[in-house]
Structure 1
């Protein structure tokens, strides 16, 4: 028997290692796979697109904000993996009637490493977890050396249109922006509240006037028309389409993200 505490501060006691896993978090589905837990994963969301073959081999139980409770119950899971940002507290409370719900909460790189370490303990995959933590730490150190002499660039990171919404402070995206020496004009901007505020793009010039406008590939499919429209509300900003998974996915994706950030920096330069 072991008792472990999730990142929401809830202690959970396990008499045996959980064998049947339902994941409600796309990035953490990828992490579970990378830890060697493919056979244990019985249910995923429709947004769990990595690895690609899961969509045909695993049961789809809905989305991240709207799940099919009966489908999950019939899968007889031992544990359900949820995330504070991706899933609502109402979903977590309802699913707790089925089995243990382990909630992750990732804002910083340290939070991400803690999650991987926790999964190693939870699923008896400590060696695999340590290997991935080492890979991430190595890639992180390498990128810090790469970026140290780069100038700070003011940016705005858009995640949605109609209405326009951005990533602000207190988000994992913002942490990765800072890592890239991108100064987010909406980080702790007193004009806007919340982590993903709706913004008035016509006021971008007076609220920070970014050097670069970043348009994320997810969750909204931005187009050239959006890029043109946003460009009109800055003095000189370049508009760059970026891979949203690299800026917002937790878990093992960070290893690929650091390599992607190098290419992005070179593209911007």
Structure 2
């Protein structure tokens, strides 16, 4: 069976009689997914941000961050498969790694339901289809439960992922599409002067009275910047609008974490 990744590269299921694959994952949420698919024993490398599940990843070698990987260390691990993500990893680095890693699997989920194809892609490549289908069933159950709750009041929210400079997310990101499931639309700055250049996916912004007027609330994510209640209190005093601290892993991690993420969305909607 030929399987296709996010950029159209064809992959094949591993041969059951071949030596065990050696996988390096440069995506924290994918590392967690691989472990939940029962493939932890085949993972030989991960980033320092791949922290879940803690008991499983502890024995897997760290190879740097998502963008500043140690090429030589990965080479010594002799991986057969590399798993990367378009948003989280740097293409020149991936191109370097592709020179000596035979199979590079590129991921790029943009909507919550893209997780179903992700589960099945990795499950079929690595011979874990039954576990992948179990995850698909769990996802569908949580998705159905989310659609059955009363819709939250439609809001425009400013989702903050960084400070100094302040940064947010665009409407074509996984985070924005997660929030859209409960009727929340992420704020983005209007294009300047009809500029045809596409807006960045993770734009920077400056606080202003005009911006504050356009939003209903601010969501401060716990990752990648570690926003805390201290930031929440200070910003709420500054702008005079509701500010909420949200679990960044639940809203930005795809893979198996997305199942819990859908439950988390239900909690957000009920508390709105």
Common topology (TM > 0.5): yes
Q: Alpha carbon RMSD of aligned pairs, Å?
A: 2.0
Match of 2:203 in 1: 197
Counterpart of 1:201 in 2: which secondary structure?
coil
Q: Deviations over 1:212-267 (max 9, x none)?
A: 11000001012445334533564x52110000001100111111112222222233
Equivalents in 1 of 2:230, 2:238: separation in Å? 13
Does 2:126 match 1:123?
Answer: yes
Match of 1:257 in 2: 261
Give how far 1:56 is off: 2.7
The answer to whether the 8 Å contact 1:185/1:207 transfers is no
Aligned pair in 2 of structure 1 residues 159, 87: CA closer, same or farther (>3 Å)?
A: same
Question: After superposition, where does 1:138-217 map in structure 2 within 5 Å?
Answer: 138-148=141-151, 150-186=152-188, 189-191=190-192, 193-203=199-209, 205-206=210-211, 209-217=214-222
Aligned pair in 2 of structure 1 residues 143, 75: CA closer, same or farther (>3 Å)?
A: same
Equivalents in 2 of 1:30, 1:73: separation in Å? 22
Aligned pair in 2 of structure 1 residues 189, 178: CA closer, same or farther (>3 Å)?
A: farther
Pairing partner for 1:81 from 73, 80, 83: 83
The answer to whether the 8 Å contact 1:159/1:215 transfers is yes
Aligned pair in 2 of structure 1 residues 232, 190: CA closer, same or farther (>3 Å)?
A: farther
The answer to whether the 8 Å contact 2:29/2:257 transfers is yes
Aligned pair in 2 of structure 1 residues 10, 208: CA closer, same or farther (>3 Å)?
A: farther
Counterpart of 1:166 in 2: which secondary structure?
coil
Pairing partner for 2:41 from 36, 39, 42: 39
Match of 1:5 in 2: 4
Counterpart of 2:2 in 1: which secondary structure?
strand
**Displaced runs of 4 or more, over 4 A:** none
Give how far 1:190 is off: 2.2
Counterpart of 1:82 in 2: which secondary structure?
strand
Counterpart of 1:109 in 2: which secondary structure?
coil
TM-score (norm: length of structure 1): 0.90
Aligned pair in 2 of structure 1 residues 56, 16: CA closer, same or farther (>3 Å)?
A: same
Counterpart of 2:143 in 1: which secondary structure?
helix
Equivalents in 2 of 1:208, 1:138: separation in Å? 38
Question: After superposition, where does 1:239-254 map in structure 2 within 5 Å?
Answer: 239-254=243-258
Counterpart of 1:146 in 2: which secondary structure?
coil
The answer to whether the 8 Å contact 2:229/2:245 transfers is no
Equivalents in 1 of 2:259, 2:12: separation in Å? 31
The answer to whether the 8 Å contact 1:46/1:55 transfers is no
Match of 1:19 in 2: 21
Aligned pair in 2 of structure 1 residues 3, 145: CA closer, same or farther (>3 Å)?
A: same
